[in-house]
Amino acid sequence: MTAADALTDLLAYQHETEALVGVAGRLDWDQETMMPPGAAEQRAEESAAMSGVLHARRTDPRIGDWLAASETAEMTEAQAAMLRHIRRDYDKTQKVPGKLAAEIARVTSISQGKWAAARAADDFTAFVPWLTRVVALRQEEGQALANGGDPYDALIDNYEPDMTAARLDAMFGEMRPRLRTLREKVLGQPEPQGLSGTFDETAQMAFATQLATTFGYDLTRGRLDKAVHPFSSGSGSDVRITTRTNPTDPFNCFYSTIHEVGHACYEQGIDAGYALTPLGQGVSMGVHESQSRIYENQIGRSRAFTGWMYDRMSDSFGDIGVTTPDAFYAAVNRVRKDFIRTESDELQYNLHIMLRFDLERALISGDLKPEDLESAWNERFEKDFGFAVPRASLGCLQDVHWSIGLFGYFPTYSLGNVYAGCLHQAMRAAIPDLDDHLAKGDTTPATTWLRENVQRHGGLYRPAEVIERACGAAPTAGPLMDYIEAKFIALYNIQ
């Protein structure tokens, strides 16, 4: 077999694997949106079976042979990047026994339903046995992947290659005091008026659809549905999103939608030639979050865009409780004492992530036992935010992530914010009249810049390299913190 033949065979094999990954993703999407509740046990077996098939494909010894044989082949930059991803995935998957991979898929599929029931009942104790099993499985996986190193670093690497807990800890240590100081100043000011009234949930979904298309989401290659926890799923020509509605809080629906549209537009914006290859999806969760957060915050919560949004909301809902664009902008960006991460303002959001980062790191290391999570959460929350958590659904049961085993995932949310801060600074420099467009509801200059500088590359470059190429400098927390401080100091008239 020639090197060229080996490369051709390897990429053809990977094409089929990527197609099966898409099928597995559709199973997860269906479980969250359409699956009847009585099907949970069967779906767990289906997910475990699919996980076993994928694990077997990813550990097929022919991959190692093809990788070795293809090293001397002439290849394009994209093909070389594909091989980098395949080799990384192959090396990691080789370390995890197939039985463990299948058990993780089976248990997390069931655990997700158990979490939803416990959350609805505000009963953390009922979820403890399942959390204990999930933590133990991820500990075992982390130890297998770490090969003597830090298991939590190995789990982070599943979502943000080349990142470590130590680097994140240093970054968070830089951000935390500035966030806390600003938070204290802002909460010492009068709170802006929020929206009032009842907002029809069917009308909310119609407005959410309008927002999705305003930000460039292609509904011929996607769909918008409702779920308990908003998410985006899929890649290429099938990218689906979900949102949720609340009759008294339409911002929950609208900004969840814009957030997930950011994820979806990243996937839809990847070079079509990368479809069903290792380059055909976002390169990391940190870069993915940079897209969802810049869509949601720096664009969607800007003074210019909220002015346009105010007029459209008034047309759709009538009296919304605020009567000027400036009051609406203040309501969109209102900082208040609250418990829910996904509903948090830009100022406090990263404090939520830092809390989760420290707790899940302790769970994986064994320093925190699963049965003690609720008390540890409540103690840390009161320390960081200054008030007590009244029930589990507002505390440690509010997020789905740990129920489905996504340990190492949470810190990528704040890393995405950091990346978004860098991208926003570069984008504003490149498009000086951006606000003129946003004031008309025209996001095209912003979304086009992001597509050209970030999204189209897919997995071609390493995560930090994507941001550095777009911004001209390595990513740091400085631009994000400067943006947050400037925005909220002005909004709250802090001297």
Q: Which two three-digit tokens encode residue 53?
A: 């098939």
pLDDT tier for residue 235 given thresholds of 50, 70 and 90: very high
Instruction: Give the residue from 330, 415, 389 showing the smallest Cα distance to 159.
Output: 415
User: Using DSSP, how many helices (H) and how many strands (E) does the chain show?
Assistant: 20, 3
Instruction: Please tell me whether 263 is known to bind a ligand.
Output: yes
Catalytic: which of 18, 160, 260, 267? 260
Please tell me the distance from the alpha carbon of residue 239 to that of residue 130, in angstroms, as a whole number: 30
Question: Residue 32 pLDDT more than 90?
Answer: no
pLDDT tier for residue 37 given thresholds of 50, 70 and 90: confident
Question: 96-110, 223-237, 278-292: which has the highest mean pLDDT?
Answer: 278-292
Per-residue pLDDT tens for 336-383?
A: 999 999 889 999 999 999 999 999 999 999 999 999 999 999 999 999
Question: Residue 40 pLDDT more than 90?
Answer: no
CB-count burial class (<10 Å; 0-12, 13-18, 19+) for 377: buried
- The reported pLDDT for the residue numbered 36 is 93
Instruction: Please tell me whether 401 is known to bind a ligand.
Output: no
> Structural domain boundaries of the chain?
3-152, 165-491
Question: Residue 227 pLDDT more than 90?
Answer: no
Average pLDDT taken over every residue of the chain: 96
- The reported pLDDT for the residue numbered 342 is 84
The mean pLDDT value for 402-412 works out to 97
- pTM for the whole structure: 0.93
- The reported pLDDT for the residue numbered 343 is 84
Per-residue pLDDT tens for 146-188?
A: 989 999 999 999 999 999 999 999 999 999 999 999 999 999 9
Please tell me whether residue 239 adopts helix, strand or coil conformation.
Answer: strand
Question: Residue 229 pLDDT more than 90?
Answer: no
Question: Residue 495 pLDDT more than 90?
Answer: no
Instruction: Please tell me whether 485 is known to bind a ligand.
Output: no
State the CATH architecture for 165-491: Orthogonal Bundle (1.10)
Q: Is 452 a catalytic residue?
A: no
Per-residue pLDDT tens for 98-142?
A: 899 989 999 998 999 999 999 999 999 999 999 999 999 999 999
Please tell me the distance from the alpha carbon of residue 8 to that of residue 318, in angstroms, as a whole number: 60
The mean pLDDT value for 80-87 works out to 96
With a pLDDT cut of 90, the percent of the chain lying above it is 93
Instruction: Give the residue from 101, 26, 3, 2 showing the smallest Cα distance to 57.
Output: 101
pLDDT tier for residue 411 given thresholds of 50, 70 and 90: very high
- The reported pLDDT for the residue numbered 95 is 93
pLDDT tier for residue 228 given thresholds of 50, 70 and 90: confident
Kindly give the pairing relationship between strand 238-243 and strand 232-235.
antiparallel
Please tell me the distance from the alpha carbon of residue 159 to that of residue 260, in angstroms, as a whole number: 17
Q: Which two three-digit tokens encode residue 283?
A: 């390169």
